[in-house]
């Protein structure tokens, strides 16, 4: 059997084992489900609200946007957080010392992170479809479009998360990444249509994938007349595919290079030094 195929199989098994552990550990499960449940509560209070004079339900507009936020944020932040934690505890060093271990390691992280995206996504989607009116998930095409944008969103954001995670050697500092990401979420039309924001903020939001995953979700889940609140009164399908595709290609090209460089810098002495600093902080 090809060594790379063996590494991919091992990585897939490892990712599924980690995901099962995550779903059966109360602390991890709480961390995974807290925000999805909170978003369901938000949707409950928005269910009867309307967006200005459009007659469109604010809850139906927010549901696909919130789903897009979870795909982009969890895809990017989840893998970044895992990399920094496992860099400090020596997991990355052990993977480096195994033949084709980095390939298996990365496949495992992708599987685990994808699971941590899909589970909260379903926790919001299923009750959300019953909670708010105005969605258009009544055709096979809508469901295929939804699956497609979820897959493209993860491909666009997870490599970027791997690159960002490689920049932090201390997992306690990864929280600094969450603040700018949440700022981008705020201006990306997640909780309120982007057309209500100043033009310069609209321009900044369109640079990042969160806005494009959001509009892709809205295009898949909302009826055609909802396009009236979008920029240019268009779902911008080609632009969505193009921007997310650029992020995906750039991330897939850059992430392996950055991770290989990060792995080369790992050694037993560096792991021991980080562990010693962590012990000192604890005391």
CB atoms closer than 10 angstroms to residue 201: 14
Q: What is the rounded CA–CA span in Å between residue 177 and residue 157?
A: 14
Angle at which helices 58-88 and 268-282 cross, to 10°: 110
- Tell me the backbone φ, ψ of residue 234, rounded to 5 degrees: -145, 145
pLDDT, averaged per 10 consecutive residues of the chain (283 residues), comes to: 78 89 89 89 83 71 87 86 77 73 80 90 92 85 93 90 79 73 82 81 90 92 86 90 93 81 68 61 54
Strand partners, 57: 50
- How much is the pLDDT for 166? 79
Given this model, what pLDDT does residue 206 score?
92
Q: Of 165, 32, 175, which Cα lies nearest the Cα of 92? A: 165
Extract the tokens encoding 182: 């949440």
Residues 248 and 159 sit within 8 Å (Cβ to Cβ): yes
Compute the half-sphere exposure of residue 16: CA atoms within 13 Å on the CB side of its CA.
6
Residues 6+ apart with CB under 8 A from 76: 157, 158, 160, 161, 164, 181
pLDDT of residue 281: 57
The label of the residue with tokens 């892709």 reads 216
pLDDT score for 150: 94
What SS3 state is found at 50? Answer: strand
DSSP secondary structure of 156-187: HHHHHHHHHHTT-SSGGGTHHHHHHHHHHHHT
pLDDT of residue 80: 84
Q: What is the pLDDT of residue 103?
A: 76
pTM: 0.85
CA-CA distance, 245 to 239, in Å (whole number)?
A: 9
The DSSP secondary-structure symbol of 206 reads: T
pLDDT at 55: 67
What pLDDT is attached to residue 1? Answer: 59
Tokens of 262: 């990060």
């Amino acid at each position: 059997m090809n060594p790379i195929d063996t590494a991919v199989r091992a990585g897939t098994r490892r990712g599924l084992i980690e995901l099962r552990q995550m779903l059966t550990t109360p602390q991890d499960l709480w961390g995974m489900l807290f925000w999805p449940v909170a978003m369901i509560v938000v949707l409950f209070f928005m269910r009867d609200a309307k967006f200005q004079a459009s007659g469109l339900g604010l809850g139906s507009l927010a549901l696909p946007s919130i789903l897009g936020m979870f795909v982009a944020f969890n895809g990017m932040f989840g893998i970044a957080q895992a990399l920094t934690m496992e860099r400090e505890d020596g997991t990355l060093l052990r993977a480096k010392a195994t033949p084709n271990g980095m390939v298996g390691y990365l496949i495992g992280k992708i599987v685990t992170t994808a699971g941590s995206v899909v589970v909260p996504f379903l926790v919001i989607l299923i009750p959300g479809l019953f909670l708010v009116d105005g969605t258009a998930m009544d055709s096979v095409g809508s469901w295929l479009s939804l699956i497609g944008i979820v897959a493209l969103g993860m491909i666009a954001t997870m490599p970027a998360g791997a690159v960002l995670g490689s920049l932090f050697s201390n997992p306690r500092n990864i929280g600094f990444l969450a603040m700018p990401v949440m700022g981008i979420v705020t201006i990306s039309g997640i909780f309120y249509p982007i057309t209500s924001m100043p033009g310069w903020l609209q321009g900044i939001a369109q640079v990042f994938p969160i806005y494009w995953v959001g509009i892709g979700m809205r295009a898949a889940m909302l009826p055609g007349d909802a396009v009236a609140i979008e920029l240019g009164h268009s779902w911008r399908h080609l632009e969505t595919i193009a921007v997310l595709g650029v992020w995906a290609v750039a991330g897939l090209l850059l992430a392996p290079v950055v991770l290989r460089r990060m792995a080369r810098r790992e050694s037993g002495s560096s792991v021991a030094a980080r562990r010693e600093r962590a012990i000192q902080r604890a005391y």
